[in-house]
């Protein structure tokens, strides 16, 4: 039996006895033991599997460039990052972009924009077009209903694509989506939006008028979130392929 087939056999066995993800966790721990973390392999892992919660913060920080790949530098760099956070927060307060009443999620967004030189950020972005494209492939009748209702241009794109579903999905589901975004695939956001429409198709088809449809989509039931994210990841793999480690 080859090494790959042995690994596949073990994965199937672990899943059957209720220990799904054991092999993946071991693989990640091996990656994290390297003195210099391999960014490409961490990206690939994050796109293929959900990150274990105990390692998520570390992996996110490394992939976002908050921490360097070298372990020995983490403590010192993290100290600098905390100082940087305080400076950026103070700058936004001074120029009156934020106040004590500003929601925390918007504070973080403004901080990112200031750091990346995009304050204010340009409103033009391509994800809504991709959303229409893939929804049409999955359910053209549903897209036609949205167009007939004049809802396509009024869907909650800011909530979906600028806030990356923060305030729409519960934290446990949101983390799985952000694993993919942080590791380099913003397109997962498109498939989450598509799957929300597919999941609540009957409800949406029964609504007439853009305002009613948008209001519902801004406040979707939370009990379906995990299933929506799982199906969205399947859609993402279906249309974009499954990431693999480079040699």
Q: What pLDDT, on a 0 to 100 scale, did the predictor assign at position 98?
A: 87
> 185 and 215 share a domain?
yes
> 103 and 171 share a domain?
no
> 136 and 229 share a domain?
yes
Number of structural domains found in the chain: 3
- The answer to whether position 90 is within a domain reads yes
- The answer to whether position 145 is within a domain reads yes
Q: What pLDDT, on a 0 to 100 scale, did the predictor assign at position 135?
A: 98
Q: Which of 66, 87, 90, 63 lies closest to 76 in space, CA to CA?
A: 66
Q: Distance between CA 188 and CA 168 in Å, rounded?
A: 15
Name the phi and psi angles at 168, rounded to 5.
Answer: -110, -45
Write down which residue in 86, 116, 146 finishes a domain: 116
- The answer to whether position 247 is within a domain reads no
Q: Distance between CA 53 and CA 239 in Å, rounded?
A: 27
Domain around 206 = 127-240
Q: What pLDDT, on a 0 to 100 scale, did the predictor assign at position 20?
A: 54
- The answer to whether position 2 is within a domain reads no
> 88 and 193 share a domain?
no
- The answer to whether position 210 is within a domain reads yes
Please report, for the domain that includes residue 37, its CATH number: 1.10.10.750
C-beta atoms surrounding 82 within 10 Å = 10
Q: What pLDDT, on a 0 to 100 scale, did the predictor assign at position 8?
A: 53
Q: What pLDDT, on a 0 to 100 scale, did the predictor assign at position 238?
A: 94
> 142 and 37 share a domain?
no
Q: What pLDDT, on a 0 to 100 scale, did the predictor assign at position 122?
A: 43
> 54 and 87 share a domain?
no
Q: What pLDDT, on a 0 to 100 scale, did the predictor assign at position 5?
A: 52
> 104 and 159 share a domain?
no
Q: What is the pLDDT along the chain (247 residues), one digit of tens a residue?
A: 555 455 555 555 445 544 456 688 899 999 999 999 999 999 999 999 999 999 999 999 999 999 999 999 999 999 999 999 999 999 888 878 888 888 888 898 888 888 877 776 444 468 999 999 999 999 999 999 999 999 999 999 999 998 899 999 999 999 999 999 998 888 999 999 999 999 999 999 999 899 999 999 999 999 999 999 999 999 999 998 876 654 3
- The answer to whether position 9 is within a domain reads no
- The answer to whether position 44 is within a domain reads yes
> 216 and 135 share a domain?
yes
Q: Distance between CA 112 and CA 223 in Å, rounded?
A: 31
- The answer to whether position 8 is within a domain reads no
Q: Distance between CA 230 and CA 173 in Å, rounded?
A: 9
Write down which residue in 64, 85, 102 finishes a domain: 64
Please report, for the domain that includes residue 181, its CATH number: 1.10.472.80
> 181 and 233 share a domain?
yes
CB 216 within 8 A of CB 206: no
Q: What pLDDT, on a 0 to 100 scale, did the predictor assign at position 17?
A: 46
> 25 and 52 share a domain?
yes
> 58 and 103 share a domain?
no
């Amino acid at each position: 039996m080859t090494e790959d087939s042995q690994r596949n056999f073990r994965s199937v066995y672990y899943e059957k006895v209720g220990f799904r993800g054991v092999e993946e966790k071991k693989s990640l721990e091996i990656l994290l033991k390297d003195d210099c973390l391999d960014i490409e392999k961490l990206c690939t892992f994050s796109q293929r599997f959900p990150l274990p919660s105990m390692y998520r913060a570390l992996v996110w920080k490394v992939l976002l460039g908050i921490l360097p790949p070298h372990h020995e530098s983490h403590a010192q760099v993290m100290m600098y990052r905390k100082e940087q956070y305080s400076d950026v927060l103070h700058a936004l307060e001074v120029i009156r972009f934020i106040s004590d009443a500003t929601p925390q999620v918007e504070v973080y967004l403004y901080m990112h924009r200031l750091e990346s030189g995009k304050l204010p950020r340009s409103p033009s972005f391509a994800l809504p077009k991709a959303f229409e494209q893939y929804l049409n492939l999955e359910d053209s009748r549903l897209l036609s209903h949205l167009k007939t209702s004049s809802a396509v241009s009024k869907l909650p794109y800011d909530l979906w694509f600028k806030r990356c579903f923060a305030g729409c999905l519960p934290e446990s589901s949101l983390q799985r989506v952000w694993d993919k975004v942080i590791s380099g695939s913003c397109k997962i956001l498109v498939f989450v939006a598509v799957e929300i429409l597919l999941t609540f198709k009957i409800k949406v088809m029964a609504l007439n008028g853009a305002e009613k449809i948008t209001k519902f989509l801004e406040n979707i039931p939370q009990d379906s979130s995990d299933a929506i994210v799982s199906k969205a990841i399947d859609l993402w793999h279906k249309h974009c392929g499954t990431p693999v480690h480079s040699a």
